[in-house]
Amino acid sequence: MTGALAPVVPVPVRVRLDEVERRRASRHLLLDGFGPDAQARLASARVLVVGAGGLGSPVLQYLAAAGVGTLGIVDDDVVSPSNLQRQVLHTDADLGERKTASAAAALRALRPDVDVVEHPLRLTSGNAAALLTGYDVVVDACDTFATRYVVGDAAARLGLPVVWGTVLGWDGQVSVWWSAAPDGRALTYRDVFGEQPAEGDSCETAGVLGPACGVVGTTMAVELVKLVTGTGDPALGRLLTYDARTSTWDTVPLVADDEGRAGERAAAAPPVGAAAPGTLVVDVGVEAVVDGGVWVRLDDLVAGRLPDAVLDHPVDAPLVVVCEQGLRSRGAATVLRDDGWRDVRATTYAALAARTGA
């Protein structure tokens, strides 16, 4: 195609396909523009996936099935019941097990000859360079800003491409960062998003549509396959955005943000007084802060385990849900509305203190 950018291939052919692998990959080999060399690059690829959760699950499954030779998995978490709604690598039988071990077992069952390397630890600025060294490509399937910036910075220093994705609520994003990319597409995560902000919403506080993780995760797997094999046009210099409500994708051309996007964490307020008479304050913060309020763990609230004071509160009387930054309270307010309370507001400790004069 005239004007098309030259393919970018970060993985050399290190192995050749035997007959067994050619038969397994036959549907790839039948693709126009793919061929044995592309499949051999997949077999030669050493890919590190950071996160074995909602995004990491479909990424790892499809990369193992596609024929990626070595898959490293970084995750320090264990499987919990709330994971199973979207983290499809894990099952009820894996509850309490390390996610790296559960994921590795599932991948080996899917494709016994895949080389799975478990890294059951948290990626930090202190260990990132050592962990990433030796891999060809990194997949950022994590769920915190802190880890995303560690991954992005370490990969940029090492010149490694990063296939990145995120999903929250109904929405997802996918892109490819590579400090060494040609053709003016050498953007990094920090180039685009600026300085590290405070942690924002998470699946724990805002919820997430399970199948949306599958859509975004499989798109990340497609981007990695294109990048590794030199086929198609990977999302370098482009941000792909997904809206599950309308099942639509949009593409945003990317340029670096010279000013950055610094964020500040709001400090937790000191103990504050409750709101007006007749209003019940439900505190879903990390620990009880509101004098005269009712404290409940967010996980218990979502599970329907509500304090008697909440259950006895009339459904048409005001409820104010409060926490440190307004993230947990917003998710809790959604749950309470769905449970039948009609006048529910979410706020922060600081905002409640300002209104009550505490």
Catalytic residues: 203, 323
8 A C-beta contact, residue 227 and residue 234: yes
Residue 83, amino acid = N
CA–chain centroid gap for 225, Å, is: 19
Residues with Cβ within 8 Å of residue 273, at least 6 apart in sequence = 290, 291, 292, 353, 356, 357, 358
Contact indicator for 37, 223 with CB cutoff of 8 Å: no
Residue spans of alpha helices (H) in the chain: 19-24, 26-29, 35-44, 56-66, 99-110, 128-132, 145-158, 189-193, 203-206, 210-229, 298-302, 308-311, 327-338, 349-356
- Cα–Cα separations (whole angstroms), residue 298 to 67, 77, 157, 310: 41, 19, 39, 13
Sign of CA dihedral 117, 120, 123, 124: negative
Question: DSSP 3-state assignment of 49?
Answer: strand
Q: How far is CA 290 from CA 270, 276, 278, 313, in A?
A: 9, 13, 16, 18
Distances (CA, A) of 284 to 204, 279, 309, 347, 354: 12, 16, 14, 11, 19
Q: State both tokens at 338.
A: 């769905």
Tokens of 64: 């193992």
Tokens of 254: 């990317």
Token pair 């300085």 is found at: 195
